[in-house]
Structure 1
Amino acid sequence: MVYEERNTWAGLIVMAIVIPAYIVVVLQTAGGGPLTDVDWWPIMLWTIVAGIVLTILVSIAWGIIAGMRDPDGVGKSDQRDRDIAHMGERVGTAFLVLGGLAVIVLCAFEADWFWIANAMFFGFAISSFVGGIARVIAYRRGLV
């Protein structure tokens, strides 16, 4: 497994943990009451920071393990990696645009800050996750 693919997997694994954790914490904080009463921004901020830090730590640990197995190929990247990364970004951007459109619609209807922020947050999260899935598929099946 090449460097870029390992990092993609690390991001997907961490995201599959932190996004559901965010949802659970927000729902528990609401305690059956309205979600708009939740003090959402510290939870969201900690989720983002934890996701970044955990992705870095998983990537480093996985890189160390891979380096012990194949010291020559640990950080190598080639044109195929760049093409796959570019394709993954294009796929993910479509979902980011949908998240941005959702934010515009919510603003037009003067929705609560909670809904606006979460629409953008999940737009970024889904964009990153779907782009990562597209990259992994491209690594496994090749670019068509």
Structure 2
Amino acid sequence: MTHQEKRAWIMLVVSAVAYAVYVTVVLSRVDDGRLTSTPYAAALLWTIGGAIAASIVVEIAMGVANPRASRVSDDRDREIGRLGDHVGQAFVGIGAVSAMLMALAQWHWFWIANVIYLCFVLSAVIGSLAKVIVYRRGVPQW
């Protein structure tokens, strides 16, 4: 497994786990049955910060565990990275357009913040999943 493939796995797992923690925390705070009155901002910021920190720590640990691993990217790694990024970036655009439309429709801030966070997570998870699949099955020939 290349260093870049390991990084894709780290991003995939850490993003999914962090979002699951966020959803669990927010849903556990619902008191009156209305999600929009649930405090979410601190949980959102802590899970994002925690995910970033966890990714850094796991990548450092991966480097310490295998210091001889090749961190040099070849053409195949760059092509796979580009493909995964293109797949994932679609969700950033979807999130931006969705948030803009929700703001224009004057939806509650809770929904706008959560659709943006969800689309960032989908971008990371699906982009990383695409990279892992291509590493396992090969770069598609168009």
Is TM (by shorter chain) over 0.5? yes
Please, which of 80, 88, 111 is the counterpart of residue 84 of structure 1? Answer: 80
Deviations 1:64-114 (A, max 9, x none): 2233xxx2x332211111111111111011122111121122112100000
Taking the aligned partners of 1:138 and 1:12, their CA distance within structure 2 comes to 14
Per chain length, whose mean CA-contact separation is higher, i.e. which structure has more relative contact order (CA < 8 Å, sep 6+)?
2
2:95 maps to 1:115 = no
Q: TM-score, normalised by structure 2?
A: 0.92
1:6-85 equivalence runs, <5 A: 6-31=6-31, 33-67=33-67, 71=68, 73-85=69-81
Structure 2: gaps (5+ residues): none
Please, which of 95, 99, 116 is the counterpart of residue 95 of structure 2? Answer: 99
Identity %: 36
Between stretches 124-133 and 30-39, larger displacement belongs to 30-39
Please, which of 109, 115, 135 is the counterpart of residue 131 of structure 2? Answer: 135
Aligned Cα root-mean-square deviation (Å): 1.3
Structure 1: gaps (5+ residues): none
- Count of residues in correspondence between the two structures: 140
Change (3 A) 1:10 1:109: same
Q: 1:8, 1:132 within 8 Å by CA — same for their partners in 2?
A: yes
The structure 1 segments of at least 4 consecutive aligned residues displaced by more than 6 Å after TM superposition are none
Q: TM-score, normalised by structure 1?
A: 0.91
Q: CA deviation at 1:61?
A: 1.3
SS in 1 for 2:26: helix
